[in-house]
Amino acid sequence: MKKSTASIAKSLKKSGFYEPEKKKPERLKIIGNVTTKPQRMEIVDKLFLEKKLKNGGNVSLAIGRGEKLPAKQGAGLTAKGREKYNRETGSNLKAPQPEGGSRRDSFCARMGPVAEKSEKGSRARASMQRWNCPGW
């Protein structure tokens, strides 16, 4: 018989899972005793999706609120925009790495084909320039 999320939560509470003095290893042991692996996977998936897709996954970012830069200034998100996006989606966006490094190389490799197909003055081309990608 499949347990509902509510009944699993009730079982966890009964077994002392939510007590503040319980350490992580103790909590993991309790979860292992109270639930089956498929139930744990379902719970984790549900929590993950809720965290990642707050507001349906759509984060409203605007130039006027200072959350992203216009294409003329290099496109991309400002620190305020990254903070908002990370907060609302649970992501971990980092600032551009124009001085070089593996993140820049990876970004340039991924965005290169997109920027080549886009129009002049587009956000894709501006981001390539902002990240100091070779050839832009």
pLDDT at 66: 92
pLDDT at 114: 93
Separation of alpha carbons 135 and 45, rounded Å: 42
- Rounded average pLDDT per 10-residue block, the chain, 136 residues: 72 80 82 82 72 64 91 88 86 86 92 92 89 88
pTM: 0.53
Q: Which of 82, 103, 99, 100 is nearest to 91 (CA)?
A: 82
pLDDT at 67: 93
Report yes or no: 103 and 92 within 8 Å, Cβ to Cβ. Answer: no
Give the burial string for 76-107 (b: 16+ CB within 10 Å, else e). bbbeebbebbeebbeeeeeebeeeeeeebeeb
| Torsion over CA: 122, 123, 124, 128 (sign) | positive
